[in-house]
Structure 1
Amino acid sequence: MTSADPRTNPDNFCYRHPDRQSFVLCQRCLRTICPACQTPLPVGVICPECLAEQQKGARSAEVKRMPGRFARKLRSDRPVVTYAIVIVTIAVYLLQLIPVVGGTITSALAFAPGYVVPGSGAPFEPWRMLTVAFVHSTPLPFHVALNMLALWALGRSLEPSLGKVRFLALYVLSAIGGSALVALIAPGSAVVGASGAVWGLLTSMIIIGRHLGVNILPIAILLGINLVFSFVGSGVSWQSHIGGGLVGLLVGYIFSKTRAQKRQGLQAALLVAVGVGLVAVTVIVPGLLYL
């Protein structure tokens, strides 16, 4: 039972400053608060603890309402996978320039269809379908410079939107797709470079950009210009460009149709199926040429 004298009633003193008398209550917790602890609201005042709780709840609700791609960006928007691929690729290129080991590195990582066709006479090394993206033609740096510039520009937009794992899957599958088309329609060639993987990023940006409401016209123009140079440039493997681009379209379509959280398992299964299918087609179809 409280005292009748307001000067001795503890309920008439601020709960945070017991020496300060007050007759104002927090609108949420109904505890007494002095002027120094009061934050005015449209319907009264609130104490510091209730204000902090209210602000925390508002931030949590805002994050939950945000689309998945922006929530991911809020957590981490630094494209570390993009930077890692660029660093590794440039490091490999610098090693290629060393006279003693450069040729060995190039021959160990470059791709030729014979490496994925059993019975072709070459050792069976299917991993070259991916490692080809880390070696480039030497000694002129234009090949690796253009690819890494494109990767850096595209990765800074795509990776925060897709997430690190999805972006890496897109890059890997696109690189394999470029090698697959080389094996299917140019079985006598040997290729190096990340062009197939970069083209996969470029074409997937068209699909993903459409679903995000982004203006894809500049991307389409860049793709068209790059396509022309792929066919008219000397020594350029247009097969790897087209192969990577087609896989990028497919993977971008898979991402756009399986964005919901409940469909993430289906998304992973489809990506695995694409990778297995690419390797299987590359091994089986060219193998018929050696029968």
Structure 2
Amino acid sequence: MSEPVDVRASYCYRHPDRVSYVLCQRCGRTICPECQTPAAVGVICPECMAQQRATQPKTKPAILTRMTGRGAPVVTYALIGICVVVFIFQSLPGIGNSVTQALQYAGVYSDPRLFQPWRMLTAVFAHGGFLHIALNMYTLWIFGMLLEPLLGRARYLALFLISGFAGSLGVLLIASPTQPVVGASGAIFGMFGAFFIIQRRMGGDATQLLVLIGINLVIGFIPGLGIAWQAHVGGLIGGALVGLIYVETRRISRQRWQVPLLVALCVVLVGLSLVRFVWPNA
């Protein structure tokens, strides 16, 4: 049986009006992005940082921190950068089609006779056109600005990758095995799902987000648009499960279960990716 989340503990102790998901790795108090200082593992609050500076020799701030600023969504910037670079290569005359074909995913690539499972992730970083990548990168930037400081960089990256894989799994289980797909939509819908779960469990109003998810899902079913709605559904479910794990293991006493549960989820997703061809009638 799950225990109710202490809503008060979901707000920064220095800024009671700011919801945050990140805890100080030393004292365990909730801190918002403005109050976070990167540490060797996780982040620490201003008081713990002051105690550390008082007892240790002064060191220069990390180069990455100086370049990006405290709490900047570095992982989001990196993911957008990778997608843009890949799209540039996709657009080059002569090699563009070869790049797309090398990265795209279709269910047939999970067949043991043509086993290329890495495509379930590489397809996330390729896109089908300028409008496609523009819309996806804009949405990734908007939600990355919210989720990366909220979850922390490692959790946020895990959410993106697991959701992207789950999106490809949706394509494998539901779509035609010969229909190739590309795009970060599955990973982005995973971010939708995780954010929705976190908002609801922390007592926030998720009505507008639910409407946004519904609209985007419906658009995916409109004939003629060529949208892989299967990736949207798979990514949404995968991201919601990751978000649920994060919420249920948020307390320090439960954090030791977070990584094992994420690994278990990945094992389940990989296992499901084998179902279609190991048991064709499943």
Report the TM-score, using the length of structure 1 for normalisation: 0.72
Matched, 1:197 2:159: no
The offset of 1:129, in angstroms, is 0.6
Number of corresponding residues: 225
Contact between 1:72 and 1:160, CA under 8 Å: does it hold in 2? no
Matched, 1:154 2:133: no
2:275 aligns with 284
The offset of 1:73, in angstroms, is 5.3
From the superposition, tell whether residues 98 and 157 of structure 1 become closer, same or farther in structure 2 (CA, over 3 Å): same
2:73 aligns with 79
Distance 1:177 1:73 in 2: 33
Whichever residue aligns with residue 159 of structure 2, its letter is L
Contact between 2:28 and 2:252, CA under 8 Å: does it hold in 1? no
Matches within 5 A, 1:31-110: 67-70=29-32, 74-75=36-37, 76-110=70-104
1:33 aligns with none
The offset of 1:69, in angstroms, is 4.8
Matches within 5 A, 1:218-237: 218-232=208-222, 234-237=225-228
Matched, 1:267 2:226: no
The offset of 1:86, in angstroms, is 0.5
Query: What percentage of aligned pairs have identical amino acids?
Result: 41
Distance 2:276 2:218 in 1: 28
Deviation digits for residues 26-55 of structure 1, max 9, x if unmatched?
xxxxxxxxxxxxxxxxxxxxxxxxxxxxxx
Whichever residue aligns with residue 256 of structure 2, its letter is G
Contact between 1:72 and 1:163, CA under 8 Å: does it hold in 2? no
1:217 aligned to which of 194, 207, 218: 207
1:167 aligned to which of 128, 147, 156: 156
Contact between 1:72 and 1:161, CA under 8 Å: does it hold in 2? no
Which 5+ residue runs of structure 2 have no aligned equivalent? 1-13, 15-23, 38-69
Secondary structure class of the residue paired with 1:289: coil
The offset of 1:125, in angstroms, is 1.3
From the superposition, tell whether residues 168 and 108 of structure 1 become closer, same or farther in structure 2 (CA, over 3 Å): same
The offset of 1:71, in angstroms, is 6.9
From the superposition, tell whether residues 77 and 185 of structure 1 become closer, same or farther in structure 2 (CA, over 3 Å): same
Secondary structure class of the residue paired with 1:240: helix
Matched, 1:114 2:108: yes
From the superposition, tell whether residues 253 and 99 of structure 1 become closer, same or farther in structure 2 (CA, over 3 Å): same
Report the TM-score, using the length of structure 2 for normalisation: 0.74
2:53 aligns with none
Contact between 1:174 and 1:247, CA under 8 Å: does it hold in 2? yes
Give the greater-gyration-radius structure (CA).
Answer: 1
Distance 1:105 1:204 in 2: 31
1:182 aligned to which of 157, 165, 171: 171
